[in-house]
Amino acid sequence: MPKSTYPYWEDISEHEGDEFDAFKMDYQEIFSPWSNPNNQRENRDSLNFTMELDSRSSNGTYQLKFYMNDPLASPPSKPQNLKVGPSANSHPLLTWDSNIEPDISIYKIYKKVTAEWGWQYLATTTSTSYEDQTEEYLTGGSQANERNIDYRITAIDTQSKESVPSDKVTARVAGAPLDKKGSDDLTKSIPKDYFITQNYPNPFNPTTVIKYQLPKAVNVTIKLYDMLGREVKEFINHTQEAGYYELTIDGSDLSSGTYIYRITAGDFTDSKKLLLIK
């Protein structure tokens, strides 16, 4: 084994594992006293080094970095055991195991609502749990108004180095399009109840769409508020006929953050949170 931190070339393509013990770029790149698997000996003593997969050539050869005297100089190891379930308030609640490196600073949460949008940064936390209050977690049987979203996390150390992402988890949430009928069908059909969807996509930048339905003609107001309850924008304030509607919210002139949109239609009122990330 080399005795310096100089990059070391080695063909380890035949030693790549599979599933949970794989060492592959963007999947499992760190082998350290704190990784899973780790470099502890059979007697549980740790070897004072870290190995990092630095790059991979087209012929399967990896460039490795060894941190022999300061194993904490490498990026953190991959976060483990990410899970998602409903919170007490029926939002997606993420939980995971704490990284055991002593220099872990924060965790970043990423979210994917569509393949086109890909992974989007959602939030930062020092905890090992996070509640996504912008989504409604669904349980039980399938519903017409639902979709799947993915989450994953990374660990950040005190050097601002970021780990590879954890394995992803998927949650069923409310907020899919209400109806896939053609425009003529939507014009002719009359909904039976009031309803407003979760905005989609969420998070968004700079535009997102809200769909809502009215069972009868009624005065409708839709307003946007900040988290202190202050009105930010008024989108609609007039009478609308029964039917299905779409509203596009443009956040180009707003600051990043969480907002609340509220619909009032006669005696019907509903509010939901949206997240603007720039």
Chosen CATH of 83-174 out of 2.60.120.460, 3.90.1310.10, 2.60.40.2550, 2.60.40.10: 2.60.40.10
Residue 180 has pLDDT above 90, yes or no: no
248 with 236: CB under 8 angstroms? Answer: no
CA atoms of 278 and 214, how far apart (whole Å): 32
Output the pLDDT for position 53: 61
Which pLDDT score, from 0 to 100, does residue 4 have? 41
Tell me how far apart the alpha carbons of residues 261 and 199 are, in angstroms, rounded to a whole number.
9
Q: Identify which of 74, 77, 88 has the alpha carbon closest to the alpha carbon of residue 129.
A: 88
Mean pLDDT of 219-229: 95
Residues of the chain with CATH 2.60.40.10: 83-174
CATH 2.60.40.1930 residue window(s) in the chain: 183-276
Bridge partners (DSSP) listed for residue 129: 95
Confidence of residue 198 (pLDDT cuts 50, 70, 90): confident
- The stretch 223-232 carries a mean pLDDT of 95
Q: What is the mean pLDDT of the chain?
A: 79
Close Cβ partners of 18 (under 8 Å, ≥ 6 residues apart): none
The C-alpha atoms of residue 256 and residue 154 are separated, in whole angstroms, by 21
Site of tokens 């002593």: 102
Closest CA to 243 of 195, 173, 174: 195
Nearest to 101 by CA among 45, 38, 28, 29: 38
Structure tokens at 44: 């549980």
Q: Does residue 171 contact residue 137 with C-beta atoms inside 8 Å?
A: yes
Q: What is the side-by-side order of every strand in the sheet holding 231-240?
A: 231-240, 218-225, 257-265, 268-276
Q: What count of other Cβ atoms lies within 10 Å of the Cβ of residue 72?
A: 17
Instruction: Name the CATH code of domain 183-276 (choices 2.60.40.1180, 3.40.640.10, 2.60.40.1930, 1.10.150.120).
Output: 2.60.40.1930
Min mean pLDDT across 96-105, 129-138, 173-182, 253-262 is at 173-182
Across 50-54, 123-127, 166-170, least confident range? 50-54
Higher pLDDT, 189 or 269: 269
Which amino acid is it at 115?
Answer: A
pLDDT at 141: 84
d(CA 109, CA 123): 5
